[in-house]
A = this chain, B = another copy of it.
Amino acid sequence: MLGRLWAKSWDPKGKHCYVTGGSSGLGLAVAKLLVLKGAHVSIVSRNAQRLESAMKELETVRTSPNQILKSYSYDLITATGAREALDAVCEPHQRRNPDAIFMLAGSCHPRFFIEETEETMKTQMDQTYWVQAWTALEASKRMVRDKSKGKIVFHSAYIGYITLVGYAAYGPGRMAIRALADTLRQEFLLYDIDIHIAFPGTMYTPGYDIENATKPKITLKIEETDPGVTGDQYAKGLLRGVQSGDFHISPDLLGNIFRASMRGVAPSSNFFVDSLWNFIGWVGLPIWRMTVDSTVKGHRKEHEEYLSNKGFYSSSNKSFSQ
């Protein structure tokens, strides 16, 4: 642990960084920072129009005419999409594997569990887990085969530590991706591949508006206490964590408390400071949970009216999974 103080920080300059979900929100913010630091940056997302405007933004922060900045449109929720995107992204770099992969694509659609369907459940798993797992699988096979060094950066969320009413479809994927990162951190000690994973809380990005469109009122109310940050603010914390070699990256107060309370065997960057977070979580989180639980119980009547108005109790109710 002390060795970290003298360890050289990772420098993105001249490296090829592949950013998924790089056309907006946190992905774009991280891509911009990487360009500013002199990296070659490839971004991938589904929306060609958004990619175009993102590229314009990236061009404005370019530090050298030699930086290779490229964008590609692929859907990464299938193994085929992930493979084709990687092929395309590596092409202008003599087909060498990226030096770092930042997997920041994904979306959040909260809902009451009993209002989920087979389709919404699967979509949410695609958008939280598979969208990262396939790229990680494809990339690591190539990196091991070619014996190339590199970094793979996953992203989860506060909800990957501490889930809440409304996140029955979203929380599982966020915790699943953490389990994948935890496994690979250890397994990839067999190779020269570093694993990182970030856990952002509320971020004011375009995704946040999409998320709030389906978010139950009770969930919104409970989340009022999270002050939130902008994508640019979070991107700085994320990149600082990657550069200094942190495994679980949680660059804020709540994130640190949640991380220490859900540490498992994830290595800590600072055992002594984390003892404090662990203690605060040990005492504070049960109190917070009891408050939230009683808020949920107090919502029973309103929830029953909500379900009744939506026709959930009627015999012709169509909400059963189709």
A residues adjacent to B (C-beta < 8 A)? 79, 83, 112-114, 116, 118, 121, 125, 129, 133-134, 137-138, 140-141, 144-145, 160-168, 171-180, 182-184, 186-187, 189-190, 258, 261-265, 267-268, 271, 275, 278, 282, 285-286, 288-289, 292-293, 296-297, 299-300, 303, 307, 312-313, 317, 319-321
User: Which 4 interchain pairs have the tightest Cβ spacing?
Assistant: A172-B176, A175-B179, A176-B176, A171-B179
Neighbouring B residues of A286 by C-beta, 8 Å: 265, 267-268, 271
Q: Which of A141, A164, A186 gathers the greatest number of chain B CB atoms within 10 Å? A: A186
Neighbouring B residues of A312 by C-beta, 8 Å: 144-145
> Could you tell me the distance in whole angstroms from the C-beta of A250 to the nearest C-beta in chain B?
13
Instruction: Find out whether the CB atom of B265 lies under 8 angstroms from the CB atom of A285.
Output: yes
CA distance A189 to B222 in the complex (A): 15
Neighbouring B residues of A133 by C-beta, 8 Å: 121, 172
CA distance A129 to B110 in the complex (A): 19
Instruction: Find out whether the CB atom of B282 lies under 8 angstroms from the CB atom of A278.
Output: yes
Instruction: Find out whether the CB atom of B180 lies under 8 angstroms from the CB atom of A168.
Output: yes
Interface of A is mostly: helix
Instruction: Find out whether the CB atom of B141 lies under 8 angstroms from the CB atom of A320.
Output: yes
CA distance A112 to B188 in the complex (A): 10
A258 CB contact (under 8 Å) in B141, B186, B264: B264
A-B contact pairs, 17 of them (CB 8 A): A83-B320, A113-B183, A118-B137, A125-B125, A129-B176, A141-B319, A144-B307, A163-B186, A165-B183, A172-B180, A174-B179, A176-B176, A186-B293, A187-B296, A190-B299, A261-B265, A265-B288
Instruction: Find out whether the CB atom of B162 lies under 8 angstroms from the CB atom of A183.
Output: no
Neighbouring B residues of A264 by C-beta, 8 Å: 161-163, 258, 261-262, 285
Instruction: Find out whether the CB atom of B189 lies under 8 angstroms from the CB atom of A145.
Output: no
> Could you tell me the distance in whole angstroms from the C-beta of A145 to the nearest C-beta in chain B?
6
Neighbouring B residues of A190 by C-beta, 8 Å: 165, 296-297, 299-300, 303
